[in-house]
Amino acid sequence: MRIGIDATVFKGNTYTGVSRCAYEIIRNWIKRYPEHEYFLFSGTTILPELILPNNWHRVVKPCVVGGAQVWNIIELPKLIKQNKIDAFWGPNFILPKKNGNIKYYVTVHDLAPFKIRGIAATSNSLKLKLFAKRSCLRADKVIAVSKATQKDVIDIFKIPEKKVIVSYNGGLPTEFTSDCLVKKVCKLEKEKYFLFVSTIEPRKNLITLIKAFEKYLENTNSNIKLVLVGKKGWKCKSIFNAIENSPYREQIILPGYVSDEEKAWLYQNAVGFIFPSLYEGFGIPILEAMAYGVITITAKNSSLCEVGGDAVLYMQNEKDTEELSQLMNKVVSMKKEEKTIFRKKMEKQVRKFSWDKNADEIMKLIMQN
C-alpha cells in the first residue's frame, strides 16, 4: 500500500504537542510496518535528522504563494495524485480536497477554540474553524486522541459517531539520566521544586499556578522552587509579567525548551508535577509525569481525567489558587506510604497508553478500509 502523510506539522527539529505525536507514529511505522511505501509531503525540509529506509520518501514541493494552508489546497492534492497514493493520513486536523478513491484519515487533537473563547491565537483559531470541520467531513475515519475530543467532534461538527474512533497518544520514553545541564544552571536539588512542562501560554492557566505557588510560600516559608519548562507561546507577556512582579521571583525558574534527556531528569527529581490547564485534547505531560512516578496535580476538565484516572490529584476549580496551594502542601507533606500507593496507581494507569498501541490502531484502521 502507498501511504501519504501530511508532514507540514514538522517545523525545525524540536517536537512538541502535535509534531511529537506525528513523529512517534512515523518512527513506529518505520520499525514495524516495512511492507508499505510511505510518502512524506511538505513545502519545506522534512525531518532532516531522521534516517529513512528505502520505502520512505520525502516529497518536498514549495508553494509559490501563501503559507501551509495554501500549500495544502494547491500543491498537496497534486502530489497525492502524482505519487498514486492509496491512503492519506493528516496528523493535524487538515485534509486536502478528496481526489478519486483514496482513503482519507485525519487526527483531531482538540477543538479548544470552539470550547473556550480566546484560548488560542486568532490565526490558529481561524485555521481550525476553516479547515477542521471540512476535513472531518472528507475523512473516511476521524481519529480523536481522547473520548473528550471524540465527543467534541461529534457534538460540534455533527460527525456520525461511528465515523469517529478514539486512539490515545503515548508519552515520553522513560529514559533515566543521572545528570543534566539544566540541573547545574538552575541549581536544582532533588525534590526541592515543583515542575510544569508545556507551552507558556494563557491556556495552561499559569497565572493561577504562580499565584498559588506564592500562597504556598507565604504559608510555609519554604525554599522550594517552581520550574516552568516550555517555549514561549501565544500571549505569554502577562505570564512573564506575573513572574517578574512576584515577590518570590528568585524561586521561579524558566529554563525554556529542554531536551528529552533534560526533561527526564526534571521529572525524576521533582517533588510534584502541576498541570492546571483550562482545556486539553489529551495532556501528554500528565502521562509523562506519571511514567516517572511524580505525584501530579491537574485540573478536572476536558480529557485530563481520562489520562490521570485515579492516579493523580485533581483541582475541583482550576481557577482556585487557595485550593491549588493546599494541594501543593499536600504533595510536599505526603508520607512515603501514600506516595507508594499513588505510584502503584500511576504504573497501572500509564500501561493503558503507548505509542506502539497508537501507531498500531491507526495502521489497522488504514488497512481495514
Q: Are 254 and 167 in contact (CB under 8 A)?
A: no
The reported pTM is: 0.89
Q: For the chain, how long is the longest CA-to-CA vector? A: 67
The two domains 2-170+354-368 and 181-350 share their CATH topology (first three levels equal) = yes
**Top-level class of domain 181-350:** alpha beta
Among 178, 189, 321, which Cα is nearest to 253's?
A: 189
Report yes or no: 8 and 71 within 8 Å, Cβ to Cβ. yes
Q: Break the chain into its structural domains and give their ranges.
A: 2-170+354-368, 181-350
Q: Which three cell numbers stand for residue 321?
A: 489558587
What lies within 8 Å, CB to CB, of 353 at 6+ separation is: 168, 169, 170, 171, 287, 307
Among 5, 77, 82, 65, which Cα is nearest to 41's?
A: 5
Report the alpha-carbon distance of residue 71 to residue 96 in Å, rounded: 10
All three cell numbers of 224, joined, read 522550594
Count of residues making up the chain: 369
Indicate the CATH number for domain 2-170+354-368.
3.40.50.2000
Over its C-alpha atoms, the chain yields an Rg (Å, rounded) of: 21
pLDDT in tens, the chain (369 residues): 999 999 988 876 667 788 889 999 999 999 999 999 999 999 888 888 888 999 999 999 887 666 667 788 888 999 999 999 999 999 988 899 887 889 999 999 999 888 877 666 655 667 777 788 999 999 999 999 999 999 999 999 999 999 999 999 997 654 545 555 565 556 788 889 999 999 999 999 999 999 999 999 999 999 999 999 999 988 899 999 999 999 999 999 999 988 888 888 899 999 999 999 999 999 999 999 999 999 999 999 999 999 999 999 999 999 999 999 999 999 999 999 999 999 999 999 999 999 999 999 999 999 986
